[in-house]
Structure 1
Amino acid sequence: MGKLFDSIDDSLQAWIEAQPMWFVATAPLGAEGHVNISPRGHDSFSVLDGRTVAWVDYTGSGIETIAHLRENGRVCLMFNSFGPRPRIVRLHGRGTVSLPGDAAFEEVVALHPEHPSTRAVITVEVTRISDSCGWGVPVMELTGERDLLRLQAEKKGPDGMSEYRVEKNTMSIDGLPGLSMLPA
């Protein structure tokens, strides 16, 4: 195995979209900065065309992905099968951040169920598409998605989510700017 692809065709798109969890890796430019890897899930990911993907980014306890993308744009997405047929797919590219009111934000958010924790949309222009064997990934069974993200956002309400974003999403752990106050 180990193949490079020219683009995300229908078959690869179907496989990517079937994965219930995927990972986002970014890093700041400075050597002293922290590399970040974040898991993602829920119905939030879209293949927009053969070289463009995007996801709805939910409010979290940090802002590393957005801060790194705003600084340098570099990103790698990794999808892997936990089912009986092993496979890993990596999408390398340059990511941008869109906020509520931006056309790209509205386009991608409309493709997915409404979520009270939505804070941004990340769009990636994919520059390299590859797969590898995944033989070292365990076989695991999906029992369901967690609803804690939605429940927390609903409990906080719009004003509470705005306050949380100001507290947790303004600056990265390395001191890079994240997001200024966002509407809920």
Structure 2
Amino acid sequence: MAKFFDQLEPQHIEFIQEQKIFFTGTAAQDGRVNVSPKGMDALNILNPKQIAWLNMTGSGNETAAHLKLVNRITLMFCAFDGKPLILRVYGTARTIHKQDGEWQDYIETFGDNAGARNIFVVDVESVQTSCGFAVPLMDYKEDRQILADWANKKTEDELSDYWKQKNVNSIDGFPTGIFE
């Protein structure tokens, strides 16, 4: 049975820190709903009411665009090993870009950040847990290094050029704010 909480409880934080992957969900008022898998040790729990996650360079930048239009986000974590559990974090978020003054304060809290594009700071409004009985059991092998290897071969100017080509607007044409 699903249970709701006003913030992340200690057992939620412990569960989140054990996961190798999480999913983000956002949507604008129109267009596509975006659900993205995230990994690479890119999430920091700042306190029971706030989470920061590092968004790496990718072929799209939907989350940033959606949050500019409709400020709501869901993060989902699910156990692929051990005791079954699904944990959803509902809230709002702000996007921090490299040109923003806060960037340096947050970027230093993340490990490998090759290709870092945005940081999202999520304000937790509620947390929901549910059973996860239908989530398959899987064995974790290792993180993929393809994105980090690709980004490490790029200069800052090359990454910026890639963002200009692929990340200025969402797939629905909404601006992401990456160069504002």
The two structures share one fold, judged by TM-score above 0.5:
yes
Any unmatched runs of 5+ in structure 1?
none
What's the CA shift for 1:5? 1.5
Shift, 1:181, TM fit: 4.0
Which deviates more from structure 2 when the two are superposed, residues 80-89 or residues 10-19? 10-19
Question: In structure 1, what residue type is equivalent to 2:28?
Answer: P
- Aligned partner of 1:11: which letter? Q
Q: Distance in 1 between matches of 2:163 and 2:169?
A: 10
| Match in the other structure for 2:137 | 139
Q: Percent identity?
A: 34
Tell me if the contact between 1:87 and 1:135 (Cα under 8 Å) persists in the aligned partners.
Answer: yes
Report what 2:90 is aligned to.
Answer: 92
Which residue identity is paired with 1:18? E
Residue 4 of structure 2 corresponds to: 4
State the one-letter code of the partner of 1:6: D
CA distance, structure 2, for counterparts of residue 120 and residue 112 of structure 1: 12
Corresponding residue pairs, total: 180
- CA 1:28–1:51 in structure 2 vs 1: closer, same or farther (change >3 Å)? same
Supply the distance in 2 between the matched residues of 1:143 and 1:136 (Cα, whole angstroms).
Answer: 21
Unaligned runs of 5+ in 2: none
CA distance in 2, matches of 1:92, 1:104: 23
Q: CA RMSD in A?
A: 1.5
* TM-score, length basis structure 2: 0.94
Cα drift, residue 160 of structure 1: 1.4
1:55-104 deviations in Å (ceiling 9; x for gaps)? 01111100111100111111100000000311000001111101125354
Q: Retained in 1: the 8 A contact 2:7–2:125? A: no
Q: Which runs of 4+ in 1 moved over 6 A?
A: none
* Aligned position for 1:148: 146
TM-score by length of 1: 0.92
Aligned to 2:117: 119
Secondary structure in 1 aligned to 2:153? Answer: helix
Structure 1 residue aligned with 2:25: 25
Offset of 1:43 from its aligned partner?
1.4
AA in 2 matched with 1:27:
A
The equivalent of 2:75 in structure 1 is 77
Q: 1:163 aligns with which of 156, 161, 164?
A: 161
